[in-house]
Amino acid sequence: MAKIICVLYPDPIDSYPPNYAREQIPKIEKYPDGSSVPTPSQIDFKPGELLGCVSGELGLRKFLEDKGHTFIVTSDKEGPDSVFEKELADADIVISQPFWPAYLTEERIAKAKKLKLAITAGIGSDHVDLQSAAKNDITVAEVTYSNSISVSEHVVMMVLSLVRNYIPSYEWVIKKGWNIADCVERSYDLEGMSVGTVAGGRIAQAVLKRLKPFDVKLHYTDRHRLPEKVEKELGLTFHENVESLVAACDIISIHCPLTPETENLFNEKLINKMKRGSYIINTARGKICDKDAIVKACESGQLAAYAGDVWFPQPAPADHPWRTMPHHGMTPHISGTSLSAQARYAAGTREILECWLDGRPIRDEYLIVANGDLAGVGKHSYTVGNTTGGSEGVK
């Protein structure tokens, strides 16, 4: 029998919801590329419920305990006295989320002698030291595509919020004002602007597709160039490198994975190559942007504004400077954990567990590391390395 540790974000401050704003969510059977949504044998939850927090348990407890497995769910994940750290030593499987990541550092992996599977309930496995996972023959899997559209919708919301100066305008309403000049002094039309994505994967393409009707000029860069047909359909301009992309665009949306090569990619040098008054949207990973360089650029006006929902470390410390810098539109890491997305990544997590526990192959598109090397989607998107450095300071 296996011991499974599941690290999820805490329950709502005002207790677990007795009811929801909507009684149901639309049923999605296929992703835009035609691939199927997760297909576990069954689920023990109602889609649209809050599953990503501790009480939600990703709807897994009945399934696992009925089979005799030990299932531990906690939000306590940092430090030697945390539940996660104490239970990790004899755990077979760890489940975590990008939104409240249980950082699997080299040191933690060394302590987890029985660990054989690390599942990301969502997309993005950079909170795992992939190099150490491969070295220790730990399989790493994530629920690819489960929340890609969720994130792309969040990006469009953030683009419009920044360009149209929505947040300060809303705040004037709360303050009972009618200060139109103050509201519009930083408000522009999106029409005619140039928007670029760093990467051209599923989320980036979904963002580009959703922004095309705004009559913007669309650009992208990626180490894997998209097919000519896709470029023509979306009217994309391809850039060989990120320096060329940022120089041409008014808005940059970051969608590349966090790897040793992209860590602190958006530093002061690169930001200064952007047009003055540009915008950055980052729903990829906080560590792709140099924290202090972003603050400086927002203060100087090199950036008109910055928005995103990814930080490093996570949860972000109370004194993180992105909380208080001018002209930002930050949210906690929520873009990929809407109630709709939770239904898919909870089902996907169960599918991965069913395959693993039954000795059946995990979908290739879910695999990041397997058999001591990058595998599946991981081979396309990641490089073997470690991006967990600094996570030890999470409080």
Between CA 161 and CA 47 the distance in angstroms is 29
Helix (H) or strand (E) holding 287: none
Given a contact cutoff of 8 angstroms between Cβ atoms, the answer to whether 298 and 290 are in contact is no
State the catalytic residues. Answer: 147, 285, 314, 333
Long-range contacts of 65-73 (CB under 8 A, 24+ apart): 67/1, 67/357, 68/1, 69/1, 69/2, 69/3, 69/4, 69/357, 70/1, 70/2, 70/3, 70/4, 71/4, 71/6, 72/3, 72/4, 72/5, 72/6, 73/6, 73/7, 73/8
Q: Of 29, 168, 19, 97, which is closest to residue 333 (Cα–Cα)?
A: 97
How far apart CA 308 and CA 155 sit, in angstroms, is: 8
Euclidean distance between CA atoms 221 and 225, whole angstroms:
8
CA distance 194 to 196: 7
Contact between 55 and 45 under an 8 Å Cβ cutoff? The reply is no
Residue 277 region by backbone torsions, left for phi larger than 0, else alpha for psi between -120 and 50, else beta: left
